[in-house]
């Protein structure tokens, strides 16, 4: 089994399993141009993919855009290879905990997938929930290290305060942001 | 005596466990007394032994608040659950040439803790003291830091919870020239302010103002802040420390503006004279 997998995100390249990284995005286009290729790479690599969406890129829009590029989306969804859902659907059903992600990883491996690939847009987090959400992020950070999981957390950088941006960066292994049309990696450990 | 709105530091001090070492930065006696009496009261309610090493005026502040909370100070002292030492009288016992003598200090500390445990009647011990602050305020920062290091060793050897209070302005540029970093080095938790929400609001506002037109540069810097490490503290205070370390010129402007916003957000009645 490989220790790395293709991120699919232009300019980023391969990432190790257990990667938990954040994306600073400004527009819906930033999301479309990074998260869709991210999941395409996961599907090509036989990974189980879960995308928890939120404003400004909702599940229906994301699925419609995906369909234009990837044929057979409905079949993949039916097979459980790809799930695109709203954050409320995911968090209401699964709760805000790390354990279920690890259970999903185990289930994916049992079912013959290479691992689990996750992306979540965090724009639903309210200021009142911020501290708890950061605690959840730090927990994920610790728990998925060494697991067959890669997790991409998208943060709308136009709406985030400096302190929150600082905390966000520190709760992930590295960050990516769009700079002059290219995605660049910031704060990588190695 | 006004009590402030509930903040994260309330639960931290209420549940401070063995070997944990926390510190508050304060500028007014109200926040000082609120935090120390909160730490003490929760220890008493958990049937822990309490050691207080205070200057006389500060003891009066703490004792008044504990009495208001319904504690009988004299009875607690008689029962041995509360040990009171005078900071000004205790300090000279272990200072040699204005520096703390580790052996003498640790001897006093271990004896005091052993007595406080009262042959096992109190399994856990909490210690609040301000001797390190007395040294710092007198301008002897080196001795203050050394004594804090001894305290940290004692906290681990004896498995006790220690809480300290420093008369230090979190928005003063000068404290970032070493004093605050020394405080961070010797403590596991930093409480920089009574009101974390207000602290964050002032820092965020100041950062945005200083970086206006340079938002992209700010994001680039923030993206590389990952390696900075320090004790547990609110994100806004960690941001200030990181900024001071990586961009000191800019950080000075951020601190000045943050203080401005803090003063502006207070009502005239609450502003320090």
CATH of residue B155: 3.40.50.300
Q: Is residue B172 part of a domain?
A: yes
Residue written as token pair 């999301």: A31
Q: How confident is the model at residue B73 (pLDDT cuts 50, 70, 90)?
A: very high
Range of the domain at B223: 197-266
Q: Is residue B271 part of a domain?
A: no
Q: What residue in A sits closest to B199 (Cα-Cα)?
A: A163
Range of the domain at A16: 4-186
Domain final position from B194, B213, B239: B194
User: Both B135 and B226 in a single domain?
Assistant: no
Select from B5, B223, B240 the residue whose CB has the most chain A CBs within 10 Å, as the one to mutate to test that interface: B223
Would the CA dihedral through A152, A158, A164, A170 be positive or negative?
positive
Over the stretch A124-174, which tens digit does the pLDDT of each residue have? 999 888 998 999 999 998 999 999 999 999 999 999 999 999 999 999 999
Q: Is residue B62 part of a domain?
A: yes
User: Both B89 and B219 in a single domain?
Assistant: no
Query: What global pTM score does this model have?
Result: 0.89
Residues of chain A with pLDDT > 70: what percent?
A: 95
Q: Is residue B1 part of a domain?
A: no
A156 contact B CB<8A: no
Over the stretch A50-81, which tens digit does the pLDDT of each residue have? 999 999 999 999 999 999 988 888 999 999 99
For residue A19, give the CATH number of its domain: 3.40.50.300
Q: How confident is the model at residue B227 (pLDDT cuts 50, 70, 90)?
A: confident
User: Both B238 and B249 in a single domain?
Assistant: yes
Look at phi and psi of residue B183 and say left if phi exceeds 0, alpha if psi is from -120 to 50, else beta: alpha
User: Both B34 and B166 in a single domain?
Assistant: yes
Q: Is residue B2 part of a domain?
A: no
Please report which residue ranges of A70-190 form alpha helices under DSSP H. 73-79, 87-94, 99-110, 130-143, 162-170
ipTM of the complex: 0.85
Domain final position from B147, B174, B194: B194
User: Both B247 and B144 in a single domain?
Assistant: no
Shortest CB distance from B236 goes to which of A163, A172, A177?
Answer: A163
User: Both B141 and B167 in a single domain?
Assistant: yes
- C-alpha A91: how far from its chain's center? 14
The total number of structural domains that make up chain A: 1
pLDDT at A4: 95
**How many Cβ pairs within 8 Å bridge chains A and B?**
62
pLDDT at B217: 87
* Mean pLDDT to the nearest integer, B216-238: 88
- C-alpha B111: how far from its chain's center? 24
User: Both B113 and B184 in a single domain?
Assistant: yes
Look at phi and psi of residue B207 and say left if phi exceeds 0, alpha if psi is from -120 to 50, else beta: alpha
Looking at beta carbons, which residues of chain A come within 8 Å of B255? none
Shortest CB distance from A186 goes to which of B204, B220, B239?
Answer: B220
* Position B272 pLDDT exceeds 70: no
Q: Is residue B170 part of a domain?
A: yes
Residue written as token pair 């966000």: A168
The total number of structural domains that make up chain B: 2
Q: Quick one: B202 exposed, middle or buried, by C-beta within 10 A (0-12, 13-18, 19+)?
A: buried
Asked if B200 and A24 come within 8 Å (Cβ–Cβ), the reply is: no
User: Both B214 and B184 in a single domain?
Assistant: no
Q: Is residue B138 part of a domain?
A: yes
Looking at beta carbons, which residues of chain B come within 8 Å of A162? 203-204, 207-208, 211, 218, 222, 239
Q: Is residue B241 part of a domain?
A: yes
Looking at beta carbons, which residues of chain A come within 8 Å of B235? 134, 163-164, 166-167
Select from A22, A127, A163 the residue whose CB has the most chain B CBs within 10 Å, as the one to mutate to test that interface: A163
């Amino acid at each position: 089994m490989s220790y790395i997998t293709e991120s699919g995100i232009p300019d980023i390249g391969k990432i190790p399993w257990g990667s938990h990284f954040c994306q600073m995005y400004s527009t819906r286009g930033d999301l479309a141009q990074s998260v869709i290729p991210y999941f395409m790479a996961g599907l090509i690599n036989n990974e189980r993919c879960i995308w928890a969406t939120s404003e400004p890129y909702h599940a229906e829009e994301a699925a419609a855009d995906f369909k234009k590029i990837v044929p057979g989306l409905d079949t993949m969804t039916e097979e459980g290879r790809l799930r695109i859902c709203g954050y409320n659907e995911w968090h209401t059903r699964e709760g805000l905990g790390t354990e279920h992600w690890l259970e999903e990883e185990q289930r994916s491996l049992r079912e013959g997938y290479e691992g689990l690939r996750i992306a979540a847009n965090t724009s639903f987090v309210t200021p009142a929930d911020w501290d708890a959400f950061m605690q959840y992020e730090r927990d994920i950070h610790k728990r998925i290290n060494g697991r067959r999981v890669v997790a991409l957390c998208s943060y709308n950088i136009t709406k985030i305060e400096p302190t929150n941006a600082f905390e966000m960066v520190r709760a992930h292994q590295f960050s990516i942001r769009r700079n002059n049309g290219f995605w660049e990696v910031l704060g990588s450990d190695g | 005596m006004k009590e402030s709105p509930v903040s994260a530091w309330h639960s931290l001090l209420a549940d401070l466990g063995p070997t944990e070492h926390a510190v508050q930065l304060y500028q007014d006696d109200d926040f000082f007394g609120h935090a120390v009496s909160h730490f003490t009261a929760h220890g008493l309610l958990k049937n822990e032994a309490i050691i207080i090493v205070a200057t006389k005026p500060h003891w009066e502040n703490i004792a008044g608040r504990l009495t208001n909370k319904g504690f009988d100070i004299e009875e607690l002292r008689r029962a041995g659950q509360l040990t009171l030492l005078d900071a000004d009288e205790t300090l000279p016992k272990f200072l040699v040439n204005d520096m703390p003598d580790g052996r003498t200090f640790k001897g006093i500390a271990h004896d005091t803790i052993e007595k406080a445990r009262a042959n096992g009647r109190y399994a856990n011990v909490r210690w609040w003291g301000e001797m390190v602050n007395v040294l710092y305020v007198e301008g002897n920062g080196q001795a203050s830091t050394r004594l804090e290091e001894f305290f940290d060793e004692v906290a681990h050897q004896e498995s006790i919870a220690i809480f300290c209070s420093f008369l230090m302005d979190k928005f003063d540029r000068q404290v970032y020239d070493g004093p605050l970093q020394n405080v961070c080095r010797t403590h596991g938790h930093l409480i920089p302010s009574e009101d974390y929400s207000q602290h964050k609001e002032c820092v965020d506002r100041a950062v945005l103002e200083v970086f206006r037109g340079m938002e992209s540069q700010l994001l680039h810097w923030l993206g590389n802040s990952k390696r900075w490490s320090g004790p547990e503290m609110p994100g806004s205070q960690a941001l200030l420390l990181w900024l001071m370390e990586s961009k000191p010129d800019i950080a000075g402007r951020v601190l000045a503006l943050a203080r401005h916003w803090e003063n502006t957000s207070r009502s005239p009645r609450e502003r320090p004279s």
